[in-house]
Amino acid sequence: MQATLSPPVIRTKIPTYIYAVVFSSLCIVWGLLWDIMWHMSIGRDGLFAPPHLLMYIGAVVAGAFSGFKILQLTFAKRNPERTSSVRFWGIFYGSLGAMYCVWGALTMLTSAPFDDWWHNTYGLDVQILTPPHTVLLIGMMTVQFGAMIGVLALQNRVTNGLLSDSEWNKKQAQRLKIMFTIAAGLLLSILYTMLAEKLGQWASHHSSSYITIGIAFPFYLLAVGRASSLRYPITLTAAAYMLTMLIPSWILPFFPATPRLGPVLNPITHYQAFMFPLLLVIPGFVLDKLLHRFGSGKLNDWLLAALTGTVFMLVITVVQWYFGEFLHTSPYAQNGFFFSDSMSYGEDPTWPYHHQFHPHWLQSTPDFLKGIGIAILCAIGSARVGLLWGNWMKRVQR
């Protein structure tokens, strides 16, 4: 008796452009962190300074690969992927993620001459959110959101059975889920960097810092937690963000850097590290546990937002109060791991508040508790928006 042969198993690989946009997202984040440390250590830069080039590489890679994918779907009318793509301007076809990447890349490249003009006109930036940097950050976040959505659309198609087991093996599906958390962690890094001036260890005993945290982070973390198919997506996203932030600050201080712009109050000889990031991985783990217990329709989203927002703020307040104090005041934090001895060349090393809290950043107990109450209300509203956004992301398949 002749054996019946089963049909061959077709394994569809993750598209190359997905790897490319996640890689470009990493280049953008590390280019931005390098640029901040360049300004802290060297000061003067130009349009084609090395950190800028790394960011431009990220923009060009994301725009080129995503643009090629859009043109491929637009002109290859028999391409089977065209049926699962989005049509825009009545001409082009492409995935939603690819379109975001193209728009973000164009915005980033547009901001480059604007930033160069700004420096030539006004000199060195004294804050992160200058007008050209704001345009640049919008472009960066658009590229990174495109990378997230590009990965997410494939993940959702696998989860919802639109790509069968004969087309997608388990290893590829798991890799896709990991790539989503990496892409989400990279975007979280940009979000944190944008707000870093309000979140430093010097502000860890002031409620304004926690109000900013309550507004900015619950919506993003809960959206990722709801959209991802992993068991602990928020924890992994927070871990990816922390490593993304820490690696450049662990490595670059080994390289020499000389200030090129006065006044030089602190004559440094090597790159100065950026600040140690928030310990979001701890409340992130708690949020994952809460979603395991009360998510998936077990609790109304408003009640779930109230629970997760409140718990998130209580956990992050306790964690950052003590960890921020350690970073700011302990001699054990003044090293190449925690960066508390890092100072830009323009800072006076004799200033008495480098390693103790300035009176401006201290509050009475009633004022601090009042501020934390406001932060909890902000976190609840932020969490509700995040759950709503996560519901939308779970439906993205194009």
Three-class secondary structure assignment of 343-377: CCCCCCCCCCCCCCCCHHHCCCHHHHHHHHHHHHH
Q: pTM (2 decimals)? A: 0.85
Q: Where are the beta strands (DSSP E) in the chain?
A: 86-88, 92-94
Q: How much is the pLDDT for 120?
A: 65
- Of residues 371 and 230, more confidence is placed in 371
Report how far residue 175's alpha carbon sits from residue 183's, in angstroms, rounded to the nearest whole number.
12
Q: How much is the pLDDT for 154?
A: 72
Q: Which contacts qualify for 349-353: CB closer than 8 Å, 24 or more apart?
A: 349/265, 349/266, 353/202
The two three-digit tokens of residue 162, written as one number:
């639109």
- Of the pLDDT bands very low, low, confident and very high (cuts 50, 70, 90), residue 37 is very high
Domain boundaries, the chain: 13-196, 199-398
Q: Cα torsion at 115, 119, 125, 130 (round to 10°)?
A: -40
Work out the mean pLDDT of the chain and round it to a whole number.
82
- pLDDT tens-digit profile of 315-370? 999 999 999 999 999 999 999 999 999 998 888 888 888 889 999 999 999 999 99
Q: Is pLDDT at 7 greater than 50 in this prediction?
A: no
Q: What is the largest CA-CA distance in the chain?
A: 91
- DSSP label of 339: -
Q: Is pLDDT at 113 greater than 80 in this prediction?
A: no
- Bridge partner residues of 244 (DSSP): none
Q: How much is the pLDDT for 10?
A: 38
Mean pLDDT on 212-226: 94
- pLDDT tens-digit profile of 45-66? 666 788 888 888 888 888 788 7
Q: Cα torsion at 215, 217, 223, 227 (round to 10°)?
A: 180
- pLDDT tens-digit profile of 128-174? 566 766 777 787 778 777 777 777 777 777 666 555 544 556 677 77
